[in-house]
Amino acid sequence: MSRLVVVSNRVSMPTERGARAGGLAVALADAMTPGSVWFGWSGKRMPATSNAATIVENKGVTYATIDLSESDYHRYYVGFSNGSLWPLLHYRTGLLEFRRDDYEGYLAVNEIFADRLTPLLKPDDIVWIHDYQLLTMAEALRQRGVRNRIGLFLHIPFVPPAVLHVLPSASVLVRAMAAADLVGFQTHGDRMNFLESAASCMGAAPDATNGFIHQGHRTETIVAPVGIDADGFAQAAKRAANMAETKRLIESLVGRDLAIGVDRLDYTKGLPQRFDAFGQLLHRHPEHLRRISFLQIAARSREDVDRYQSLRRELDRKAGDINGAYSDFDWTPLRYMTRAVNRNTIAGFYRLARIGVVTPLRDGMNLVAKEFVAAQDSADPGVLVLSRFAGAAEDMTEALIVNPYDADAVADAMHAALIMEKDERITRHAALLAKIRKHTAASFCRDFLRRLKFIERATG
Ligand code: ADP
């Protein structure tokens, strides 16, 4: 039996689960079956980067973590990963910052990851690397003689070549990604962009199965949308009816409709545009004045990155503007909180909401859209308003699909959701629920790993 070795920037230790917001930790929790290994950064910044991984066992899973020095953390994580790659791969070239020193720090930390992981590997292990922080690690492992099957999954979007080449050194990254045996994407669009980029960077033309060969190495690709445990989440939402927080929320609504948004506080999530759209709803459809409360839960994130601090100030101001313009002495239209909330509590909140507003300007998948659908009461469900630029929109076509930049259109969709007849709500919800039950967190892991293992049998 080959072991699964998962590698991600941050290892989510069992003790801290539930407390952290983010799609990757949720998706991977299922893959970590007994016997598997999870390798990555501990989340700790120390005077020096670790020379070897610290090993902890828990319920049969081996957690192997390294600490990073302050300088490595800043160059690799804050600088290049979150200052360059994150905006670039979300099509925000105007926000991209590039410093050669950060880029070199990124390559160096990917090599350190490879150095620290290599001694832990057994010949039959299957290595599964995750996400944009580790795009060059597969190549670094190869350079260290690692011949194991290596998969790489990108949880965020991939851009077309014309956008990609805004980043100096983009070709180096694409070549390094191709050192994996299997590269996975959330959507067909992302995969196509990668294949076009590979052709542009390396002259590697894709074959009929969307793979290509470069310098004798074959790279295959797969589209594997990340999902959630829909049934488990639905159960949690039902159970939440008895929680004190749920009862307090119901009491505070005094019969008003609830609209809900749940996000990390990130500029990709379209929060200022969403607040504007809610303002437009109250302006264009005044029948909802005093009849609706919008609850936006935004977990603070990446506070070391300047752009996130300025976003927070912008949202504080906008929330104040809306509430200043529309509040009454006994009604506040927008409730805005900037912290993480327990996932079970959120499940209960989704279930109370008439509308889920998921309007990212660009998102790899967006699990909140799926959680909102899973949490609904099938007999009287709320309506999902979903950005066409979320990966989830490729499949979730029965949502009210909007362009998040168009505040009037989003306002109109929210209005349509609020007045939608029950029959239509039930039909749309049933179709969406069937889809999210099909593509779960477990099926995502299974599909990717099955394909990676098949490659092993074919050539290993
Ligand atoms: P991302 O990975 O970019 O953060 P996703 O929507 O794919 O976006 O995943 C977000 C995950 O984090 C979801 O499971 C969601 O419930 C959770 N989450 C997001 N915001 C919060 C919050 N404010 N409090 C608690 N959990 C949150």
Provide the residue ranges of all domains of the chain, joining segments of one domain with +.
4-227+441-459, 230-438
Nearest CA to ligand 1 atom 16: 368
Rounded Cα distance between 84 and 353, Å, is 36
Return the ligand 1 atom nearest residue 301 CA.
Answer: 4
Nearest to 234 by CA among 344, 336, 158: 344
Q: What is the amino acid identity at position 177?
A: M
d(CA 122, ligand 1 centre) in Å: 34
Return the ligand 1 atom nearest residue 298 CA.
Answer: 23
Secondary structure (3-state) at 62: strand
d(CA 218, ligand 1 centre) in Å: 35
Return the active site residues.
155, 363
Reading the block at residue 76, the tokens are 């690799």
CATH 3.40.50.2000 corresponds to the domain 230-438: yes
Chain mean position to CA 78: 17
Rounded Cα distance between 123 and 26, Å, is 29
Return the ligand 1 atom nearest residue 263 CA.
Answer: 20
Nearest CA to ligand 1 atom 4: 22
Reading the block at residue 349, the tokens are 């909140």
What does DSSP assign to residue 379? T
Rounded Cα distance between 124 and 36, Å, is 12
Nearest CA to ligand 1 atom 27: 21
The sign one gets for the Cα dihedral 363, 364, 366, 370 is positive
Mutate to test the pocket of ligand 1, among 264, 268, 373 (most ligand atoms within 8 A of CB): 264
Reading the block at residue 413, the tokens are 């969709």
Domains 4-227+441-459 and 230-438 equal at CATH topology level: yes
CATH 3.40.50.2000 corresponds to the domain 4-227+441-459: yes
Return the ligand 1 atom nearest residue 155 CA.
Answer: 2
d(CA 22, ligand 1 centre) in Å: 4
Mutate to test the pocket of ligand 1, among 155, 271, 368 (most ligand atoms within 8 A of CB): 368
Tens place of pLDDT per residue across the chain (460 aa): 789 999 999 998 877 755 454 567 766 777 788 999 999 999 999 999 999 999 999 999 999 999 999 999 999 999 999 999 999 999 999 999 999 999 999 999 999 999 999 999 999 999 999 999 999 999 999 999 999 999 999 999 999 999 999 999 999 999 999 999 999 999 999 999 999 999 999 999 999 999 999 999 999 999 999 999 999 999 999 999 999 999 999 999 999 999 999 999 999 999 999 999 999 999 999 999 999 999 999 999 999 888 999 999 999 999 999 999 999 999 999 999 999 999 999 999 999 999 999 999 999 999 999 999 999 999 999 999 999 999 999 999 999 999 999 999 999 999 999 999 999 999 999 999 999 999 999 899 999 999 999 886 444 4
Mutate to test the pocket of ligand 1, among 297, 366, 367, 386 (most ligand atoms within 8 A of CB): 367
ipTM of the complex: 0.98
d(CA 47, ligand 1 centre) in Å: 31
Rounded Cα distance between 178 and 327, Å, is 54
d(CA 342, ligand 1 centre) in Å: 11
pTM: 0.96
φ/ψ of residue 38, rounded to 5 = -125, 120
Nearest CA to ligand 1 atom 17: 21
d(CA 384, ligand 1 centre) in Å: 16
Pocket lined around ligand 1, Cβ cut-off 6 Å? 21-23, 26, 262-264, 297-299, 340-341, 343, 346, 365-368, 371
